Structure 1
Amino acid sequence: MPDPKPKQEHPLANILVNVVVPALVLSFLSKDPEIQVKLGKVARPWHIGPMWAMIIALVLPLGYGIWHYIQTRKGNFFSALGLISVLLSGGLTLYLWNDDGSVKENAGLLFGLKEGLIPLFLGFAILSSRKSATPLIRVFLYNDTIFDIPKIEGRISQRGEESRYSGLLDGATKLFAASFFLSAVMNVGLAQWFFRGFDAEAIDALEVYNAIIGKLQWAGFIAIGVPLMGILFLILTRLLKGLRDLTGLKDDELMMPR
């Protein structure tokens, strides 16, 4: 009997566990009951303090990644990057939080650089893989789960269009890498924006820090993710147009059947 088809990760569950729920946890659970009383505010039952809120926000995506691996028995490149991001966030937070409840003055810059590090790495990795045996664009975008690559390359070979085909993929690779460089810059800028006016010496500095990180989670997903999806759509559109010209095939012949 054929092996059972591995379970697929649900994109909505991914977004909820990795973005939405951690952002909500950091935004609403971070308040310290004792500090709330000192500030003359009401301490709610869900106010568990900045440390526990940060731990929960980090454990959720980490636990989900482990659960997903157990379910699928298959590694995932983006899940691995998510795990690295979680560990970096936790390690950086431990460094930025002082024992007296204050936060280091350069928190905004350092967290922004952390947020920009992974897309910057991906951009350089994609760009440097252009001439390798396995360009990363074939892993992320131009692969046999989306395109009927054997049919496409067979037609390319018949028409002697190998040079133009390589140029098309090279252009798509550069644009794809540029989207990650743009994401890196926007991540740094977004962190600077949200950390503007942050008082690192305030009595509730840790709570405010967590609230800012929570805002960065959802704001980054919207403000950065949406434009990048637009760039991805542009790349796919240009790829399809170029492949139609090179092969004479229609879109439904270029793509794998769904």
Structure 2
Amino acid sequence: MTEKKPSPLNDIIFNVIVPSVILMKFSSDEHLGAVGGLVVALAFPVLFGGYELFKYKKFNFISLLGIVSVLLTGGIGLLELDNKWLAVKEALIPGLIGIGVFISTFTKYPVVSKMLINDTVLNMSLIHEKLNEFGNKQKFERSLVTANYLFASTFVFSSVMNYVLAKVIVTSPSGTQAFNEELGRMTLVSYPMIAIPSMLMMMGIFFYMWRQIRQMTQLESAQILKAE
């Protein structure tokens, strides 16, 4: 039976599009107001994240950090803190993930090996057999370390870009309609400027490891991929 997976389209709709529209179009006094607009907009990613967790029965630490990030954004707006804290918060979450990925390099299980190079998609038993046969086990491990460093760098990129976007776009005092509108605009802009480039970087990392596996094992693509 094929395992059901979360829909990327639903993720974009409930985490990006709907909150952004509410923040930008319904935060005026004649609609939800600044506080109501912020609460309703941020409720969507929180409730959607909880629904995904309940439906797929999978605990995802990165998703949990995403929910925490949303709650922190709500706290900054509701408590009317200086908007500089929004920029700090936007940089902090991907920064913490990047540090975690970097630290995992020095453990037995680098994050990249779990996320990109694993038994779910690749025929790892055959790959390891061929690596041992050609004496490339240590060379492969060094490639994994390199890939993990590159993976950590994608979060560094996200951290820096998040900070820059927050500083440039969100300039109004928190707790105001203007703050909500700018927050919605930042949410929309961050997807093409941060999420898509980060995704392309991850695809590049996977392609790098794919080439390393091909060269070190002399296996064909059909042999590397795990059979259904």
Q: TM-score, normalised by structure 2?
A: 0.92
1:225 paired with 2:221, answer no
2:28 aligns with 31
Contact kept? 1:6, 1:72, Cα under 8 Å = no
- Percent identical pairs in the alignment equals 29
- Relative to structure 1, the CA distance from residue 199 to residue 175 in structure 2 (aligned partners, 3 Å threshold; closer, same or farther) is closer
1:76-91 matched pairs, under 5 angstroms: 76-91=60-75
Shift of 1:81: 2.0
The 1-side partners of 2:3 and 2:215 are apart by: 36
1:7 paired with 2:17, answer no
Which amino acid letter does the alignment assign opposite residue 52 of structure 1? G
- Which is further off, 121-130 or 227-236? 227-236
The 1-side partners of 2:134 and 2:140 are apart by: 11
Secondary structure at the residue paired with 2:176? helix
1:200 aligns with 173
Deviations 1:200-224 (A, max 9, x none): 39xxx70000011101111111101
Aligned length: 228
1:154 paired with 2:129, answer yes
The 2-side partners of 1:237 and 1:231 are apart by: 10
Which amino acid letter does the alignment assign opposite residue 111 of structure 1? L
The 1-side partners of 2:2 and 2:21 are apart by: 34
- Relative to structure 1, the CA distance from residue 199 to residue 236 in structure 2 (aligned partners, 3 Å threshold; closer, same or farther) is closer
Secondary structure at the residue paired with 2:173? coil
The 2-side partners of 1:74 and 1:230 are apart by: 25
- Relative to structure 1, the CA distance from residue 178 to residue 88 in structure 2 (aligned partners, 3 Å threshold; closer, same or farther) is same
5+ residue gaps, structure 1: 34-46, 98-103
The 2-side partners of 1:94 and 1:48 are apart by: 14
Which amino acid letter does the alignment assign opposite residue 112 of structure 2? I
Contact kept? 2:46, 2:67, Cα under 8 Å = yes
Shift of 1:199: 4.7
The 2-side partners of 1:6 and 1:156 are apart by: 30
1:75 aligns with 59
The 1-side partners of 2:61 and 2:125 are apart by: 24
Which one has a bigger Cα radius of gyration? 1
- Relative to structure 1, the CA distance from residue 61 to residue 126 in structure 2 (aligned partners, 3 Å threshold; closer, same or farther) is same
The 1-side partners of 2:157 and 2:214 are apart by: 29
Shift of 1:146: 2.7
1:209 aligns with 179
1:166-177 matched pairs, under 5 angstroms: 166-177=141-152
Deviations 1:107-126 (A, max 9, x none): 1x321111111111111111
2:85 maps to which of 106, 110, 135: 110
5+ residue gaps, structure 2: none
The 2-side partners of 1:120 and 1:142 are apart by: 23
The 1-side partners of 2:142 and 2:3 are apart by: 35
The 2-side partners of 1:218 and 1:142 are apart by: 31
2:18 aligns with 21
Contact kept? 1:23, 1:218, Cα under 8 Å = yes
2:35 aligns with 51
2:162 aligns with 187
Contact kept? 1:119, 1:184, Cα under 8 Å = yes
Shift of 1:16: 0.6
Q: TM-score, normalised by structure 1?
A: 0.82
The 1-side partners of 2:172 and 2:105 are apart by: 45
Contact kept? 1:112, 1:187, Cα under 8 Å = yes
1:122 maps to which of 97, 104, 119: 97
Shift of 1:73: 2.4
Secondary structure at the residue paired with 1:224? helix
Shift of 1:6: 5.2
